[in-house]
Amino acid sequence: MNKVSVFFTTLLGGIILSSCATANNAGSETMSIPQNSSALNQIAATIPATADTANKATPKTLAPTKVKSQLIKKATMSIVVESIDKSINEVTQIIDKQQGDLIKLAQNQPKDEFARSTASIQLRVPQTSLDNTLTQLAKLGIVKNRSITAEDVGDRIVDFQAQLVNLRKTETNLQKIMDKAGSVRDTLSVSQELSNVRDSIERIGAQLKNLQNQVSYSTISLNLEAAVSTKNPQRGFGLQVQETWNKSTNSVGKFSMGLVKLAIWLMAYSPYVFILAFGIYGFNRWRSAKTGVKLD
């Protein structure tokens, strides 16, 4: 066995052992050697277990570190509006102002003259603008319901990042081995492993990018419902009852407050009222005594 073959065998065996240790640390994403890769298995079997490789293959116990929270926020909101078309235009303006994107728009115009038209809108805005966007949307009409959910994906992002670092190191080492491969069989075996590693890099990179985008941008599902029917512009029975009740309770409240204010004013001016009443009574007594008319 010449020096090139010995160097190639030793280097490839070290890469395989370090790749196995990396896969154990990575977690869910593991890079396995295909069963048909007999050349790599034979080369790995010929490598003696040294203290150095044993230390590299044994994972070190690290102190747990606190992972920064990475939240995926989603919001839903249902609003009763006066006009669907006008509200859609206002929603578009809000999205543009917040530098967001309109993902989906579905408008429903019912055939029943008493039914009200609706619209379903899905939009995406920067997470830093989520609260402000919801506040602006709430001004479109009467908010029926509103909810916000959050999911922490910080651990998953850190795990994907660690896997990418390890896979890129493995890719670099496999590339060096393939450059120094002496036989066609060894070159094909290393090339297959290199292709598997690159596929894993692309897959995990796409998952990481998707999570990061979901963290950076929040999704809002907005449902709009017209307050009145387009063909029969009369407010629904429930809305009319609710509006009448609100007006009546408001009127009762104002009337009650008016009585309370009047009572307070009377209490404040009660001494003057008593003085005026006593003066009128005394004047009537004096006039009666003067005219000889007896007062009961």
Q: For the residues of 71-91, what is the DSSP string, one character each?
A: EEEEEEEEEEES-HHHHHHHH
Quick: pLDDT tens for 22-45: 444 444 433 333 434 444 444 444
Only one residue has tokens 């999205």, namely 95
Tens digits of residue pLDDT in 185-227: 888 888 888 899 999 999 999 999 999 999 999 999 999 998 8
Map residue 227 onto helix, strand or coil.
Answer: coil
Q: What is the per-residue pLDDT across 90-139, written as a single tens digit (0 to 9) for each? A: 999 999 999 999 999 998 887 766 678 899 999 999 999 999 999 999 99
- For residues 182 and 92, the model is more confident at 92
What average pLDDT does the structure give for the chain?
Answer: 77
Whether 63 shows a pLDDT value over 60: the answer reads no
Sequence-ordered list of residues with C-beta below 8 angstroms from that of 205, at least 6 positions apart, any chain = 164
Helix axes 237-268 and 270-291, enclosed angle (nearest 10): 60
Specify the pTM.
0.54
Residue identified by tokens 């290199």 is: 194
pLDDT value, residue 47:
37
Instruction: Spell 211-246 as b/e; 16+ CB within 10 A means b.
Output: beebbebbbbbbebbbbbbeeeeeebeeeeeeeeee
Parallel, antiparallel, or unpaired for β 118-126 and 71-81? Answer: unpaired
